[in-house]
Amino acid sequence: MLCAILLRTRPVIMLSLARSLGPRSPKRCILSSSGRKRLNTGQSSLEARRYVVRGRVQGVGFRWFVEREAHILGIAGWVRNNADGSVEILAQGTRDQLLGLRSRLREGPRAARVDAVEESEARSSANLNSFRIEGAW
């Protein structure tokens, strides 16, 4: 998908390529006014998911990685370390946005080793409008 390739390019290039896709493409990359890229699929229904990532995921920049990816995808929610060594994420967005995040969680940052990503449904919240890193545990 072209949008996945555009995630790693500069915003100016993303905007110009998104414009060149035109209305014929059902999935277009759009640069929001905040500079974040989001996927426009015509789906406006928000879903919420809870992820628990296990492996070597603490002390390797995993929470900052998740925060950056969530901002790029336009997802709201939070990420935090758990006492058992896992990292927990609550994410709210469209189905496509959440699929993109799940894919990135499986990869993780370079220094991490992801052994498992557990996913479960969560309740959507109108209070979630940004993504943040929460306390250690």
- Supply 95's token pair: 């189905």
Please indicate whether residue 81 is annotated as part of the active site: yes
Please indicate whether residue 82 is annotated as part of the active site: no
Give me the catalytic one of 24, 81, 82, 132. Answer: 81
Q: Cβ distance 101 to 69 under 8 Å?
A: yes
Q: What are 98's strand-pairing partners?
A: none
Q: What are 118's strand-pairing partners?
A: 52
- Supply 10's token pair: 């500069």
In whole angstroms, give the CA distance from residue 100 to residue 33: 21
In whole angstroms, give the CA distance from residue 54 to residue 25: 37
Give me the catalytic one of 28, 38, 49, 63. Answer: 63
List the one residue out of 50, 33, 37 whose CA is nearest residue 9: 37
Catalogue the active-site residues: 63, 81
